[in-house]
């Protein structure tokens, strides 16, 4: 139904109700007004039952989620997950290798080692 026909129906209904109200006597109008007031009061008070606790319930949910998130973020990490974060000293034999690799005259040897390492990974990938 489009808005134009609906607004016409509302206008016709309003005119019919106004004409019927104009023909009512004073006691009927008062009874109708009292019934209307009671209906509105009951409709307004019906929403205050559980609706007034809506914000308290939402606050409890937010507080609970915040607590759970804080517990997750504050728990201590196990040693396996933090082992890569702790610095460790290299073994003495590795220090000797680093000194060997750091020498300028051994640059060709280092390039050959890089090539051989690359070649072994390529061969491993093929097999």
E-only strand ranges, 7-121: none
- 10 pLDDT above the threshold of 70: yes
- 104 pLDDT above the threshold of 80: no
- 1 pLDDT above the threshold of 60: no
Give me the pLDDT at residue 89, please: 58
39-51: pLDDT as tens digits = 877 766 665 556 6
Which whole-number Å values give the CA distances from 11 to 16, 26, 58, 84, in the listed order? Answer: 9, 25, 42, 77
Kindly state the average pLDDT of the residues 75-98: 62
The distance from CA 63 to its chain's CA centroid, rounded to whole angstroms, is: 15
Q: pLDDT grade, residue 100 (50/70/90)?
A: low
Give me the pLDDT at residue 64, please: 92
CA neighbor of 27 nearest in space, from 17, 19, 18, 35: 35
Task: List Cβ neighbours of 100 (8 Å cut-off, separation of 6 or more).
Answer: 106
């Amino acid at each position: 139904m489009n808005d134009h026909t609906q607004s016409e129906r509302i206008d016709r209904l309003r005119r019919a109700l106004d004409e019927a109200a104009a023909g009512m006597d004073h006691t009927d109008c008062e009874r109708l007004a009292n019934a209307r007031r009671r209906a509105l009061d009951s409709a307004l008070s019906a929403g205050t039952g559980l609706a007034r606790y809506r914000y308290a319930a939402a606050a409890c949910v937010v507080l609970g989620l915040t607590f759970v998130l804080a517990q997750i973020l504050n728990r201590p990490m196990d040693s396996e997950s933090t082992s890569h974060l702790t610095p460790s000293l290299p073994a003495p034999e590795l220090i000797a290798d680093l000194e060997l690799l750091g020498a300028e005259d051994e640059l060709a040897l280092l390039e050959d080692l890089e090539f051989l390492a690359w070649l072994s990974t390529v061969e491993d990938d093929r097999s």
